[in-house]
Amino acid sequence: MPELPEVETTRVGLLPRLQGRTLRQIVVRNPRLRWPVPADLETRLAGQSLQDMTRRGKYLLFDFGATTQIVHLGMSGSLRFAEPGEPAALHDHIDWLFDDGTTLRLRDPRRFGAVLWTDDAIRHPLLAHLGPEPLTPAFDGDYLYAQCRRRNAAIKQVIMDAAVVVGVGNIYASESLFHAGIRPATAARRLSRPACGRLAEAIKRVLTAAIAAGGSSLRDYVASDGELGYFQLQTRVYDREGLPCKTCGTPVRRIVQGQRASFYCPACQR
């Protein structure tokens, strides 16, 4: 699933070519995504210029002035630029055609993504209750400690809760906990303030490194230029069950939490 680094990589790849361009037409081949594509999407957006593109958690926000387009890539979605005259493939559901001939194309094999519009992004139901962005000053050890004090859930589940902090997906949660020296099943309320400080800093470092590496090469994820991300090649514990820890040599263990695999080193993580 595209997570925060993959979505941020996509945003950075798209913005330079699209900012200031006027949207000429939207071609919707299949409106049946996670939520139906609004029938009036083109009416709302066509003829408007893209002023900016931001990100909130895993949502891309296309700022067309009075109207904001919300795009979520779901489980397997990707946005990329189509070549002139390139025919649409089976899972290419939406094209955005701009005034300079650029075509932006959404591919979503599983159709768990979303393309919506809103005139109030701050209060939109999908965005209004999200936690702070992890790479901003609003997310730090003190904030995380306050959140953990009232939660009995395992710390990995807490940092993957978008109401606590956005964008910490499964890979990045496992990696951040490794760097902070915390086991994923530890009850959040048991963490000390210093431990929360280490974890907040680890999350920032891991996500920053993942963005620099272009995200993770998982399933169908590609960046806007069609290139795969390579952060997965740098992981310390994720998907390394039974392999020696890169720090101490102890075999990495795997457990299942909330139907997702968690990986940790029993020696480095206490």
For residue 180, which amino acid is it? Answer: A
- Specify the DSSP class assigned to residue 199: H
Q: Determine which one of 3, 6, 8, 175 is catalytic.
A: 3
Q: Alpha-carbon distance 220 to 43, whole Å?
A: 31
Q: Alpha-carbon distance 109 to 38, whole Å?
A: 19
Contact (Cβ atoms closer than 8 angstroms) between residue 37 and residue 112: no
- 2 among known catalytic residues: yes
Comparing CA positions, the residue from 84, 68, 86 lying closest to residue 126 is 68
- 251 among known catalytic residues: no
Q: How distant, in Å, are the alpha carbons of 6, 101, 144, 151 from that of 19?
A: 20, 14, 35, 42
Q: Determine which one of 55, 56, 58, 156 is catalytic.
A: 58
- Specify the DSSP class assigned to residue 241: B
Q: Alpha-carbon distance 106 to 61, whole Å?
A: 15
Comparing CA positions, the residue from 40, 115, 21 lying closest to residue 70 is 115
Q: Characterise 6 by phi-psi region: left (phi > 0), alpha (psi -120 to 50), beta (else).
A: alpha
State which H helix or E strand residue 233 sits in.
none
- 204 among known catalytic residues: no
- Please name the residues in contact with 67: beta carbons below 8 A apart, sequence gap of 6 or more: 44, 45, 48, 117, 118, 119
- 58 among known catalytic residues: yes
| Structure-block tokens of residue 238 | 């994720």
- By the 10 Å C-beta count (0-12 exposed, 13-18 middle, 19+ buried), 213 is classed as middle
**Residues involved in catalysis:** 2-3, 58, 260
